[in-house]
Amino acid sequence: MKLTELLEADRETLLRTLRGARSPEEAREALERELERLLFAYHDAAPSDRARETAAAMIGALKSALPLLECRGEVKIWEHRPARRGMHLGAAALVLLIAGCVLCLGAAALMLYHAMPAWSAALPPLGGLALALAGAKCARDGRSVPERRAEAVTDWERVYRTVHTAALVMDQTLEEQAAAERWESRRRSAETPALSSAEAELLAALLEAYYSGDGAYALDALGAVRHYLRAKGVETVDYAADSARYFDCMPGERSATLCPALLQSGQLLRRGTATVPERR
């Protein structure tokens, strides 16, 4: 089982979860959960403990690098233009309006009383100018100013491709490691014989006795098994009252050992079999 196969099986579900994430943190948590699922699924099918450890280390490294995977796509510019507010009378516009009114009223009063000094001819133009400036100021203050906002959209397809590429690299590393383990196993098998010299001698003697067709010779050859086990530190124990706890017993005409028990340093390696007479 490959990590890329597990990831491709979850592609649509993962992309749908990422696109629906409300924050980068939520998307990163979804990616972490997916990587943990990949590790658990691979753990059950891994060929060896070493492969499990390697996969766990590589996926852990990828999880620690997830904050770097926030690949940015197209930047969208949003422009919001608020509704026009109409005329707005600010402080400056109010001063100009009052000044214009005062100048115009002053000019009218002088004309009413027929007291028109030479400088009074400038009052009407100045008043009109002040009123015009006040109107322009009101109009400018009332205009709406558009608001702009930039939004960087994460390209989740690109994020998925990045994670998929990392999974391909991990699969290749795991395959190379498995090949190296197989080669090492074959090398050890070639260098280490299947039988030790003592085992080879014992089995050769037993086969020789078997091929001879002589029953007595075969039984004598089988006695060599005891010597071989004794050399290995294994003791063969026959059935007796003090060793009955090492045996599985079945009813018989008399007490007899069918197969001896095997002990090493007082520890039972294999229970023996014996017959015991039935009690009447």
Structure tokens at 161: 């491709």
The tens place of each residue's pLDDT in the chain, 280 residues long, gives 788 888 888 889 988 888 888 877 888 888 888 888 888 888 888 888 888 888 888 888 888 877 766 555 555 665 655 555 555 556 666 666 666 666 566 665 656 655 556 555 565 666 666 666 666 666 565 555 566 665 556 778 888 888 888 888 888 888 888 888 888 888 777 666 666 777 777 778 877 777 787 778 777 887 888 888 888 888 989 999 899 999 999 988 888 988 889 999 889 999 999 999 876 5
Gap between the Cα atoms of 272 and 237, Å rounded: 8
Give the count of alpha carbons within 13 A of 71, CB side only.
Answer: 12
Question: β-strand 147-154 against 256-259: which pairing, if any?
Answer: unpaired
Token couple for 41: 């699924």
Q: What is the residue whose two structure tokens read 């028109």?
A: 116
- % helix, strand, coil for the chain, step of 5: 65, 15, 20
**Which residues are CB-contacts of 176 (< 8 A; sequence separation ≥ 6)?**
none
